[in-house]
Amino acid sequence: MIPAIGITMGDAAGIGPEVIIKALEEPEIYEICRPIVIGDAKILKRAATISDSKVVIHTIEDTEEAKSQHGIIDCINLDLLPEDIVFGEVSAVAGDAAYQFIEKAITLAKARKIQAICTAPLNKEALVKGGHDFSGHTEILATLTETADYSMMLSSPKLKVIHLTTHVGLKKAIDLINPERTHTVIELADKALKRAGYKEPSIAVCGINPHAGENGLFGEGEEEEKLVPAIREAQAQGINVSGPHPADTVFFRAVRGDFDIVVACYHDQGHVPIKVLGLEEGVNITVGLNHGIIRTSVDHGTAFDIAGKNIADNRSMVAALQSAAELAPK
């Protein structure tokens, strides 16, 4: 039986509803999963009109009512939004609704009614205005699943990256890195790739400083203190990990095929190479959630500047659904 994937609608003032409609117009999606949108039916209908789509929005209350048929989009309708919500504007109502869509998806995943979650983008400012003080999807998911050890993985056809830290300032990010966190993320990367079919994934750890510290020439010994002990411990466990490697060359080497995944130390160190390679095909994956929950996401934001204009690209959403179907328990 192919997996049921819960698709959270994201921020209704952005491009989330539109890219969902466009992605679910692709017939091959229904060959690999049973997509169920968790959101607002009337907003999806508006997005379908804007996208010149002929799909039918099928409102349901439970996953068992889903038709799982191309041309019909099943939607668990939480009915939290006004029909005329303004595109491109930060809205507390939209931020609160985006949070509640995720909360509903977690409930369904815990009950095994869906086998994975795929999220459309939310707006962090709207989220906070809506009463939910989180920096992003990853932190919400970790809180709702009571998960302590998790990480953000970015995946594209040529490169995979997993992060030691994400949505914090650079100075705080370096303070947060320690051998325990580094070892945890190396293990998460190893387990995630093995689950995806890699027999012995090759993992490269980025240095924190230029040239990975150049034997103490740059920085204050952060590599030796925060990274090296964890790498050695993981190697002793049999994990195929190496580093620290200079960040200015390790991503090139990974794209060339030397490594299957790169451990990035902070947000931009990992995000920039993925996005340079192609924003349209990037997928955001939350690794290590409790209850065995798989979560993938588009690797782009709400794009308020183009929302409602029928120019949003669906490729990252298609890739996210494909990754969710691949990683979901069968």
Tell the residue number behind the tokens 């490594």, with chain if given: 259
Non-local CB neighbours of 295 within 8 Å, separated by 6+ positions: 116, 117, 118, 119, 137, 141, 285, 286, 289, 324
Q: Does domain 1-147+289-330 have CATH number 3.40.718.10?
A: yes
Single out the residue of 201, 204, 136, 208 nearest to residue 176, CA to CA: 208
**pLDDT one-digit tens code per residue, 238-253:** 999 999 999 999 999 9
> Residue 155 belongs to what H/E stretch?
strand 151-155
Give the global pTM. Answer: 0.83
Q: Which CATH architecture has domain 149-286?
A: 3-Layer(aba) Sandwich (3.40)
As beta bridge partners, residue 59 has 75
What's the pLDDT at 219? 86
Per 3-state DSSP, the chain is made up of helix, strand and coil in percentages (nearest 5) of: 45, 15, 40
What's the pLDDT at 239? 98
Measured CA to CA, the distance from residue 72 to residue 25 in angstroms comes to 9
What's the pLDDT at 330? 59
Can 1-147+289-330 and 149-286 be said to share one CATH topology? Answer: yes
- The phi and psi torsions of 205 (rounded to 5 degrees) equal -105, 125
Measured CA to CA, the distance from residue 115 to residue 230 in angstroms comes to 32
- Every domain of the chain and the residues it spans: 1-147+289-330, 149-286
As beta bridge partners, residue 110 has none
Measured CA to CA, the distance from residue 18 to residue 206 in angstroms comes to 36
- The phi and psi torsions of 211 (rounded to 5 degrees) equal 55, 30
Q: Which pLDDT tens digits describe the chain residue by residue (330 residues)? A: 799 999 999 999 999 999 999 999 999 999 999 999 999 999 999 999 999 999 999 999 999 999 999 999 999 999 999 999 999 999 999 999 999 999 999 999 999 999 999 999 999 999 999 999 988 888 899 999 999 989 989 988 899 999 999 889 999 999 999 999 999 999 999 988 887 778 999 999 999 999 988 888 888 899 999 999 999 999 999 999 999 999 999 999 999 999 999 999 999 999 999 989 876 777 889 988 998 898 999 978 899 999 999 999 999 999 999 999 988 875
